[in-house]
Amino acid sequence: MSFSANTNQSDTPEAREYNHIKRWLTVADMGVNFLFLVALLATGFNGTLRDWAYRSAGQSYSLAVFFYVVMLLVLSKVLSVGLDYYSFRVEHQFNLSNQRIRSWAWDEIKGWLIGLVIATLLVEMIYNIIRTAPFKWWIVVWLVYNGLAIFFAQIAPIVLFPLFYKFRPLENDELAKRLIRLSERAGTRVRGVYEWKLSEKSKKANAALAGLGATRRIIIADTLLQDFTPEEIEAVLAHELGHHVHKHILKSIGLQVVLSFAGFWIVAEVLNICVERGLFALERPYDFASLPLVVLMATVMSFLLMPLMNAYSRQKEREADRYSLESIPKIEPFVSSMNKLADSNLAERAPSRLVEIWFHSHPPIAKRIAAAEAWAKTRSATT
């Protein structure tokens, strides 16, 4: 059997334009934030903000840290809100969004407030640890940071996701049982199958295996339920289960632990040099005016690692695809689901190699379908 007609589908002009705009919005957002951080440090305004924070807090260190974080996030949001709104308009321009501007604005406010809570927690933790353990603070911060990352990944499905979307138990009992049986064959236990009311905001389709341990659950977008057959939904979920089978979550956590260890060590060394030389208006090791420098270093390191991280992610996605193909009776549902996802999400089927390296955490749709076709031919030849 052959799926060359599916494999050779090319990108529509609309898909190319949409992804071109979205890439440039990503680059522009990164550029704005990068220039903002550089400007704070180059002008010494980070020190001015620190002084304002102390005066507002009545010299209370922890309260001053909070005020400093608030001022940084307010300034950052003011600079980026134009790009955020344009991104919202782009989704409507390409008929991918159902969200009204009031709902979008409310989501932006909620996202900003959640970011404030998480950022305040992290920054308070980091700088108070530096005050109490100024020489090896980065090791303690590294341990706590990774613990918090796992904690937030665990609570996200039950605390964070419902703040933006509605979820309800899947009413299609037959499909729910089918998906639970699929997860059991993969050796994972889930706490239910939920319908994700994505259509209230988007026309895109998606599914996921969300959460860790006791919070792990299957979530299926209602857009997927409307437009995909049960066999196609099974193929999509089998891919997600492939990540569990290949222990991708544990491997990703391990990689994060290693990279964050190196990252915090680099940050600690650079901060020591800056304080010793009086650079960027920094007065002491626990001077929270160094926060823009810390974020800038994290941004640069993330950007430099992006091609490697994307390559690692694409490899994991290929392994998950292979598991999906091995878990379903026929590969036609996998191929048709890939084509439907590409159409509903306006995904690029065949981007340039450079775009794939820098921007794609998943293999392009054309390569995924071609791999499925090659796998089917190999299986046919051996049976």
The amino acid sitting at 180 is I
Backbone torsion region of residue 192, taken as left when φ is above 0, otherwise alpha when ψ lies between -120 and 50, otherwise beta: left
Mean pLDDT to the nearest integer, 68-85: 96
Arithmetic mean of pLDDT, 188-203: 90
Question: Residue 278: what pLDDT?
Answer: 84
* Confidence label for 133 from pLDDT (cuts 50, 70 and 90): confident
Please compute the mean of the pLDDT values over residues 35-42 and round it to a whole number: 95
Residue among 225, 114, 115 at smallest CA distance from 167: 225
Residue 1 scores a pLDDT above 60: no
Task: Give the pLDDT score at 33.
Answer: 94
Average pLDDT score over residue span 86-99: 96
- CA angle 325/192/346 to nearest 5° reads 50
pLDDT tens-digit series, residues 270-323: 999 998 888 888 888 889 999 999 999 999 999 999 999 999 999 999 999 999
Does the pLDDT value for residue 2 go beyond 50? no
In whole angstroms, what is the distance from residue 29 CA to residue 250 CA? 30
Question: What percent of the chain has a predicted confidence (pLDDT) above 70?
Answer: 97
Query: Is there a contact between 175 and 182 (Cβ–Cβ < 8 Å)?
Result: no
Cα radius of gyration (the chain): 23
More confident residue, 285 or 139: 139
**From CA 127, how far away is CA 186, in angstroms rounded?**
43
pLDDT for 379 equals: 80
pLDDT of residue 5: 40
pLDDT of 9 reads 64
Give the tens place of pLDDT for each residue, 146-166.
999 889 888 888 888 999 999
- What integer pLDDT is reported at residue 216 of this predicted model? 85
Mean pLDDT of 348-371: 93
> If you average pLDDT over residues 325-352, what whole number do you get?
92
pLDDT tens per residue, range 206-263: 988 888 777 888 999 999 999 999 999 999 999 999 998 999 988 999 999 999 999 9
Q: Is-contact 221 246, C-beta < 8 A?
A: no
3-state helix, strand, coil in the chain (%, to 5): 75, 5, 20
354 exposure class (CB count in 10 Å sphere: 0-12, 13-18, 19+):
exposed
What's residue 273's pLDDT?
92
* 3-class SS of residue 97: strand
Beta bridge partners of 209: 218
Q: Which residue ranges make up each domain of the chain?
A: 10-166+244-382
pLDDT at 135: 81
Residue 383 has pLDDT above 90, yes or no: no
Burial of 181 (0-12, 13-18, 19+ CB in 10 A): exposed
